[in-house]
């Protein structure tokens, strides 16, 4: 939650709750299921939502990302995902960064993806861990600095436009940032991305990424700095 932006975000898993619906059905209603079996399959979605309210306390913006699958090469199914409780854990006071510092660190990450700056200077913990749509894609135990190793690869390059920073929480070290990532490699997908950064002692420690590939246009305009240079 971010009181300054009057915004709250939710990330997790949702289901169509078929079992409960079946419990509440009459026998006659259950008999009709034979005619539409697909409708009554239990389904799960990886889900991210952002709600922003105006001065009157009325919801004025709703943003959602939902995917049924975790993506190619990603092993965690939505129904098996575990909540990343580390995001909710308050940091010791000496490990906290200011709001401005956290936005700059997230901006530097996007600049590094965009290759506007040398990715090697992005403040990243050697044990940093990256999760994409619920699946860990780096292994800091077997390969320290594995997230940065992947990150600095020249082919890891997208234009990161329309950046937003809807939630910045200094107490937990969480900075949520969204952008439209335009692929620079033919083999890479374009998409809309939301990254949840956990920042400790001025370094990126965790990133939980939610993305929906194949989106060629995003309605939301950028809000806040669009490069880390604008943070100074």
CA-CA distance, 19 to 25, in Å (whole number)? 10
pLDDT at 72: 47
Distance (Å, whole) CA 190 – CA 180: 8
Give all domains of the chain, ordered by start, each with its CATH number: 7-231 (3.10.450.50)
Q: Give the strands of the sheet with 203-213, arranged side by side.
A: 135-136, 124-132, 203-213, 191-200, 174-183, 158-169
- Dihedral angle over CA of 73, 125, 194, 109, nearest 10: -110
111 DSSP assignment: H
pTM score above 0.75: yes
Question: Which of the residue ranges 79-83, 143-147, 203-207 would you say has the lowest mean pLDDT?
Answer: 79-83
Which residue has better confidence, 15 or 72?
A: 15
What does the alpha-carbon distance between residue 160 and residue 114 come to, in Å, rounded to a whole number?
Answer: 6
Token reading at 2: 């971010």
- The average pLDDT across 65-88 equals 65
All residues at 6 or more sequence positions from 194 whose CB lies less than 8 Å from its CB, including other chains = 48, 65, 176, 177, 178, 209, 210, 211
Is a pLDDT exceeding 90 seen at residue 88? no
Tokens matching residue 50: 């952002």
Task: Give the span between the Cα atoms of 149 and 94, in whole angstroms.
Answer: 28
Q: Which residues contact 208 (CB under 8 A, 6 or more apart)?
A: 11, 84, 87, 131, 195, 196, 198
Closest by alpha carbon to 163, among 173, 153, 176?
176
pLDDT tens digits, one per residue of 113-154: 999 998 889 999 988 888 887 777 787 777 777 788 777 888
């Amino acid at each position: 939650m971010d009181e300054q932006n009057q915004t709250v975000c939710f990330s997790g898993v949702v289901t169509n709750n078929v079992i409960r619906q079946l419990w509440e059905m009459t026998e006659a209603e259950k008999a009709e299921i034979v005619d539409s079996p697909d409708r009554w399959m239990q389904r799960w979605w990886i889900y991210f939502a952002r709600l922003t309210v105006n001065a009157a306390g009325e919801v004025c913006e709703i943003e959602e990302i939902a995917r049924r699958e975790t993506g190619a090469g990603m092993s965690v199914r939505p129904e098996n995902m575990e909540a990343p409780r580390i995001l909710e854990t308050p940091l010791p006071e000496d490990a906290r960064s200011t709001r401005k510092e956290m936005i700059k660190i997230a901006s530097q990450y996007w600049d590094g993806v965009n290759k506007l700056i040398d990715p090697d200077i992005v403040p990243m913990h050697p044990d940093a861990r990256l999760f994409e749509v619920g699946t860990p894609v780096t292994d800091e135990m077997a390969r320290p600095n594995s997230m940065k190793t992947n990150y600095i690869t020249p082919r890891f390059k997208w234009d990161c436009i329309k950046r937003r920073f809807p939630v910045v929480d200094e107490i937990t070290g969480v900075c949520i940032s969204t952008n439209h990532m335009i692929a620079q490699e033919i083999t890479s997908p374009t998409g809309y991305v939301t990254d949840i950064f956990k920042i400790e002692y001025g370094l990126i420690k965790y990133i939980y990424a939610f993305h929906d590939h194949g989106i060629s246009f995003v309605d939301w305009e950028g809000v806040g700095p669009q490069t880390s240079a604008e943070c100074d």
